Chains A and B, each alone.
Chain A
Amino acid sequence: MLEINDLRASVDEKPILNGITLSVKPGEVHAIMGPNGSGKSTLAQVLAGHPAYEVTGGTATYRGEDLLEMEPEERAQAGIFLAFQYPVEIPGVTNAYFLRAAYNEIRKSRGQEELDPMDFLDLLESKLKLVDWGPEIMRRAVNAGFSGGEKKRNEILQMAVLEPALAILDETDSGLDIDALRIVADGVNSLRSPERSIIVVTHYQRLLNFIVPDFVHVLAGGRIVKSGGKELALELEAKGYEWLTGVPEAA
């Protein structure tokens, strides 16, 4: 699915990723953990094509294609989805219009027919249930005036509708209470399948109680400093990051 080799990236000429190597196979769930500033969010955003980051070295191959050569929309059309840490507010564009536009652009890129508004509503109905929402949310402007929890749920709704092959969740758990966390986790778990890969970027082990990963990687200083199974997350929870990174965690 995804092969990352010695990936390096910087923002404003400041290196953030210093050689990441990672292989994600279909059906696998990988957790990327690490303290603040370790580069874990940067990795997520670089994979989605965020314009602020400059890739300075290494490769990333997605389903045999050079990911780094693709525009952000081409990555989405190819099946990559990034759930944003800070979802963007788009006043004046309704959730319904936005999501249908995205859904149809992706279909169009694959030579499939676009769904008309009525058929799309049918599709939405089941997806809304996943995040425990009624249809009224679709008439609101995208994320505008949404609470932090609502924004994260909206990301999961988008993911459920767009059905990506590779979903990347960037700190989707941050700032969520336990109920919202459960809704988000249920949404993600419902998407787990042998064909679909998920990368969960998180600071805390808590989310991994609900979304149980196959692999856990710890980032520090823009590199993976340790990889292991799901038990690694528990170890981190008990010991903190310091024993791996050698630096006390910033407050």
Chain B
Amino acid sequence: MTETYLQAFAADATVPAEAVPGWLEALRKAGIERFAAVGFPGLKDEDWRFTPVAPIARTPFAPARPPAAPVERAALEPFLFGHPEWATLVFVNGRYAPELSTRPALPGGAEVLSLAEAVESRGELLAAHVGRHALAETTPFAALNQAFARDGAVVWVPAGVELAHPIHLVFVASADAGGTVTHPRNLLVVERGARAAVVESYVSLGGEGSYFTNTVTEVAVGRGAWLEHARIQREGDQAFHLGYTHVDQDQDSHYRSFTLAMGALLARHNLHARLNAPHVETLLYGLALTRGDQLADNHTAIFHDHPHCNSWEVYKSILDDRSRGVFNGKVFVTPEAQKTDAKQTNRNLLLSPDAKVDTKPQLEIFADDVRCTHGATVGQIDEIAYFYLQSRGIPRERAQTMLTCAFAAEVVDEIAIPPVREYLTRLVTERLGGDR
């Protein structure tokens, strides 16, 4: 159903409602052309062989529209954390919702705004970054997103500015979002020596039918800059979620990501980090919680192009019922990238005999003086651990919950920002039926 999107693009072009600068117009055009050329990936495509996107391809999702009834602020409460005065940008069905957002003045001229606003006021910044990090060639869905890039969040932290509080970007699917598609396009720019924490949430207010979120986030971390990035995917249980995050890091920068996938019927996130200079540190943590017929796919790629960089990656999944997990972790080390220290770990916990995981570490190392390790495990809770807890009076069912929460805690505990860590600990524990 590539046709659906080509028609939508053509229809879009006839609506002159929004002034679109030439560079963005060209980008969108390149996006749709790329998508028209490659179409949806199939199972024969090596990169998609465990993740069937046919249900997305055959559903003629309509462009998202505003909800019939306005979304109340109270409906968002379960998805918010921290202090109510912290910067929170809310998007409903892909469109910025100023009435639901909180935009305090940020120190040092830092800004959090919608892409549509930024097109007006920060054209130069956008032109320098949008489409420069996340390339349309990476996946067909990235091309599709680029073709329909209309709104999303822009976070700009100028050189030397340190933000004290995390910024929350919330993408809400209203209860009547069924049958529609959104293409949020986000940009996070943390300039030289700046520090920030950004949380992206994808949430649903419930409702019938499936909808499709196809999002791209571009991240630029400047020299000596520091970014803590969390991504919480809790879409509706019939939803499709395709996400692509691309991070470019400059010298001496520090980027730490935590991704939580617990929603959607089918979810795929590509997280690519390119280490563009020496002495870069990249930490990627991930947790996928699936049940029922859910599928969660995490594809990561770390590009070590320069010497003396460290990357550290731990992805875990906990699978129940008939759910599926996919992990593919690529690490590329070029001949120039001597003294690379890269470690990748993927651990999967199966709570049901019908759950299944396909995991594939993929290390391509062309430098000789490096330390690169990887390991993947798939297993159940150790019977001896059960026995130990039971022998202390803890019933088996609670022992399972405790041990499962503990398995998850090992990655959740790595989140560096306390309010984010506490919020996610609560969220994950509740989902797993625990009581902490």
Contacts and interface: CB of A to CB of B under 8 A. Distances in A.
B360 interface: no
Nearest to B411: A92
A105 B436 contact: no
A51 to B, nearest CB: 6
Contact of B406 (A76, A92, A105): A92
Interface in A35-86: 48-52, 71-73, 75-77, 81-82, 84
A92 B410 contact: yes
Interface in B103-117: none
Contacts, number: 83
A162 to B, nearest CB: 7
B388 A105 contact: no
B403 interface: yes
Interface string A89-109: 011110001100111011001
B304 to A, nearest CB: 29
B387 A72 contact: yes
A76 B387 CA distance: 11
B390 A72 contact: yes
Contacts of B391: 48-49, 72-73, 75-76, 81-82, 84
Interface stretch (B65-73, B261-269, B274-282, B394-402): B394-402
A71 B398 contact: no
**B contact residues, range:** 20 to 34
Nearest to B395: A73
Contacts of A49: 387, 390-391
A87 B388 contact: yes
Contacts of A50: 387
Contacts of A72: 387, 390-391
Contact of B392 (A52, A71, A97, A162): A162
**A contact residues, range:** 20 to 34
B388, B391, B393, B436: most-surrounded residue (chain A CB, <10 A): B393
Contacts of B43: none
Nearest to A101: B394
A97 B436 contact: yes
A105 B387 contact: no
B385 A92 contact: no
A76 B393 contact: yes
A109 to B, nearest CB: 7
Contacts of B227: none
B409 interface: yes
A247 interface: no
A251 interface: no
Kindly list the 5 A-B residue pairs having the minimum CB-CB distance in the complex, ordered from nearest.
A92-B406, A76-B393, A102-B392, A72-B390, A88-B388
Interface of A: 48-52, 71-73, 75-77, 81-82, 84, 87-88, 90-93, 97-98, 101-103, 105-106, 109, 141, 158, 162
